[in-house]
Amino acid sequence: MQRTYKTVSYGIRQSRCMSDDAPIRFDTKIAVLLREDLEPWQRLNVTAFLVSGLGTTVPEVVGEPYEDADGVVYLPMFRQPVMVFEATKEALTSAHARAVSRGLPCSVFTGDLFATGNDRDNRAAVRGVGTGELDVVG
């Protein structure tokens, strides 16, 4: 398999101090794992929801605002790569259990959330199911 991105670890979680022309390397990446049987629109929806809380929970992942040549300012985006992967339902369930057991901060999107229409009902749908029984799709 060809590697398209090489990561060099410097023992800290932020990029090493470098000049403006040096290549930027990242010690960490944002990983999104999706269930392989999702429709294309569901993949996009789930990915957007899963990463939406990172900026407020882990503010160091957000870069500086963008600005075009005319001075129009745009919102900042993640400063590190976002890697999106797919897996079988079994592999996703296993990855979720492993992340929870390790105490890693993670988002969750369950199949039930496709039937809700707001944040309150989304949270209630997740809260109503035990961790091991969640129908995790991302």
pLDDT of residue 21: 77
Give per-residue pLDDT as tens, 59-107: 999 999 999 999 999 999 999 999 999 999 999 999 999 999 999 989 9
98-to-7, 25, 35, 129, 134 alpha-carbon distances in Å: 23, 27, 16, 18, 14
> What is the chain's mean pLDDT, rounded?
88
pLDDT of residue 40: 97
For the question of whether the overall pTM of this predicted structure is more than 0.85, the answer is no
pLDDT of residue 26: 81
Residue 21: half-sphere exposure toward Cβ, Cα within 13 Å: 0
Q: Which domains does the chain have, with CATH numbers?
A: 30-133 (3.40.1490.10)
Residue 27: pLDDT band (50, 70, 90) is confident
Q: Closest Cα partner for 95 from 7, 49, 36?
A: 36
Contact 34, 47 (CB under 8 A): yes
Burial class (CB in 10 A: 0-12, 13-18, 19+), 66: exposed
